[in-house]
Structure 1
Amino acid sequence: MRPHGSPDKAGIIRTEADIAAGLSALVRIDPRLEAVAATAGPLPLRRDPGGLPGLARIIVAQQVSRASAAAIFARLEAEFDIADPQAFLSADDAVYRRAGLSRPKQRTVRAVAKAVDRGDLDLARVEVAPVDTALAELVGVSGVGPWTAECYLLFCAGHPDVFPSGDLALRVALAHAFHHDARPSARQAASLALAWAPHRSVAARLFWAYYAAITRREAAPAA
């Protein structure tokens, strides 16, 4: 994901002021987004702690509501130290079942914990690496797909130019905002988002908020 189109520089997103600056830049790049922003309302910062707990939280959140994800993650935290990769590896299936984690997600969090424990996945390094490099390292772990990797960089690392184009809510929002008869494919959504570089992470927040406004549903990302 390399910047295209905009001469504006974008730094790591740390504060609400960074979101506001990114949104102003987006409206300059694409004036259509002013109407989208008016409907979306205030954009949340949504920065989460990184490391193993942060990546595990995103895995848990796949394809469930934000409330369900929070409940599952809270049960995991009650079972063991989520910052310790060995704790993930030593927990048996019953522990994960009590927490409400599906078998595919169990396999993924264990694969991530194993990679972190072995040093094959260095999340501190990932968070400061160029986006393409970071994505490649993350998706190199079994079970970690592009959506999970992109959301980790967006929410935990604060990368400014990530747009999870496979996200269903984002694609629904794009179709509605631009009056498309059908929601775009992931490839088409990625192509649309190219124009918003290097502020695609704020664009993603904008369209999640827009989705919440038009559907009255949670603005949680969903693969």
Structure 2
Amino acid sequence: MLIDLDTRRHACDVLAAADKALARAYDHIGIPEWRSADPHFESIARTVTYQLVSTRAASAIWARVLAWSGGKLEPNAVIEAEESDLRGRGLSGPKVRHLKSIATAIENRSLPLDRLSDLSDADARKMLLAVKGIGPWTADIYLMSALGRLDAFPQADVGLMEAYRMLSDAEERDKPKAFLARAETWRPFRAVAAHLLWGYINAVREKSY
């Protein structure tokens, strides 16, 4: 779900006034692009695929998965697939089992994706986390990108912590717990703060290539 430009601008203004490091990011990149996704199984599956591997490797694996599925990944296709079929596309055994678990939860309605938009952030997150294979980072990314929740926050994201270290000229990154505590000051726009930080670190990396 895409967040409109005026909402992102207002949130960035508020965040820049509250945090000097975020103000530097805002000055550097302007209003960040929003990472939007459709509120479907495929969005969760993509997030699981990208977790804990390099972006380049994940992109290659995801392209092979989509080619295998005919361009669109549906829950029933994953449920019916042999594990070897999915592993042959580059997915690890644990990720295949996670995807099958998530697909099954969606098909049997223990995870009714169409109901999540009616729930609070906390309740929607709780329902996502109840499914084996969906961890905190995956749940938060889904809330942010597919449901457009402005205060969702992928708390242990290394890229966010590194971006903040760079912007604050610190020698070391915050530990995840300390970073989460710092992010409390960014409510109710923690998702916009995340996009500012992602936008900044990606811009720096692109410039270095």
Q: TM-score, normalised by structure 2?
A: 0.89
Which one-letter code corresponds to 1:145 in the other structure? G
Displacement after TM superposition at 1:157 (Å): 1.0
Aligned partners of 1:141 and 1:172: how far apart in 2? 29
- 2:60 paired with 1:71: yes
Within the candidate set 116, 139, 149, 1:149 is matched to: 139
Where structure 1 has 5 or more consecutive residues not aligned to the other structure, the ranges are 1-11, 219-223
2: CA distance, partners of 1:128 / 1:150: 16
Instruction: Give the corresponding residue for 2:32.
Output: 43
| Matching residue's letter, 1:50 | P
Provide the C-alpha distance between the structure 2 equivalents of 1:70 and 1:217, rounded to a whole number of angstroms.
21
Q: 106, 128, 134: which is aligned to 1:138? A: 128
Distance 1:42 1:198, change over 3 A: closer
For 2:198, the equivalent position in structure 1 comes to: 208
Unaligned runs of 5+ residues in structure 2 are: none
- 1:180 deviation in Å? 2.7
Alpha-carbon distance between aligned partners in 2 of 1:63 and 1:160, rounded to the nearest angstrom: 24
The answer as to whether partners of 2:22 and 2:197 remain within 8 angstroms in 1 is: no
Distance 1:186 1:217 in 2: 27
Alignment of 1:190-201 (within 5 A): 190-201=180-191
Whether the 8 Å contact between 2:8 and 2:31 is mirrored in structure 1 is: no
**Residue identity opposite 2:43 in structure 1:** G
Query: Could you tell me how far apart the structure 2 residues matched to 1:66 and 1:21 are?
Result: 30
- Specify the alignment match of 2:8 in structure 1: 19
Partner of 1:8: none
Alignment-derived partner of residue 102 in structure 1: 92
Number of residues of Structure 1 aligned to a counterpart in Structure 2: 207
Contact 1:44 1:205 (C-alpha < 8 Å) held by counterparts: yes
Amino acid at match of 2:68: E
**Which whole-Å CA distance do the structure 2 matches of 1:77 and 1:33 have between them?**
36
Deviations 1:83-113 (A, max 9, x none): 5322111111222123211111111111100
Residue 135 of structure 1 aligns to a residue in which SS? helix
Identity %: 29
Higher RCO (CA-CA < 8 Å; seq separation 6+): 1
| CA distance in structure 2 between the partners assigned to 1:161 and 1:122 by the alignment | 22
Give 1:173 shift: 1.3
Residue 176 of structure 1 pairs with residue 152 of structure 2: no
Closer, same or farther: CA 42–97 of 1 in aligned 2, 3 Å: same
2:17 partner letter: R
Once the two structures are TM-superposed, the CA of residue 190 in structure 1 deviates from its matched residue by 0.8
> Against the structure 1 CA distance between its residues 183 and 43, is the aligned structure 2 distance closer, same or farther, given a 3 Å change threshold?
same
Q: 1:61 matched to which residue of 2?
A: 50
Is 1:85–1:113's contact at 8 Å kept on the other side of the alignment? yes
1:188 equivalent to 2:178? Answer yes
Q: 1:76, CA displacement in angstroms?
A: 1.7
Once superposed, which parts of structure 1, at least 4 consecutive aligned residues long, lie more than 6 Å away? none
For 2:9 and 2:178, the matched residues in 1 are separated by: 26
Q: Deviations over 1:6-61 (max 9, x none)?
A: xxxxxx85333332222122123335422222234551122111211111111111
